[in-house]
């Protein structure tokens, strides 16, 4: 049972890393779109 727990933990780490990176990319995209919208609103 301990071996299965270790295996699952090892498999989960890369998934968490990908999720963290994708979240950062999404946040940056949203901030960029908001900045563009603000810039267009100023004109």
pLDDT of residue 27: 95
Cα distances (angstroms) measured from residue 6 to each of 14, 16, 18, 19, 37: 14, 15, 19, 20, 47
Stated pTM of the model:
0.57
Across the range 23-34, mean pLDDT stands at 94
Percent of the chain topping pLDDT 90: 49
Q: State how far the Cα of 40 lies from the Cα of 37, in Å rounded to an integer.
A: 5
pLDDT at 36 over 80: yes
End-to-end CA distance of the chain: 63
Which DSSP category does 43 fall into? -
């Amino acid at each position: 049972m301990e071996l299965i727990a270790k295996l699952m933990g090892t498999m989960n780490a890369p998934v968490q890393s990908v999720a963290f990176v994708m979240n950062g990319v999404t946040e940056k995209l949203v901030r960029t779109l908001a900045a563009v919208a603000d810039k267009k609103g100023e004109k």
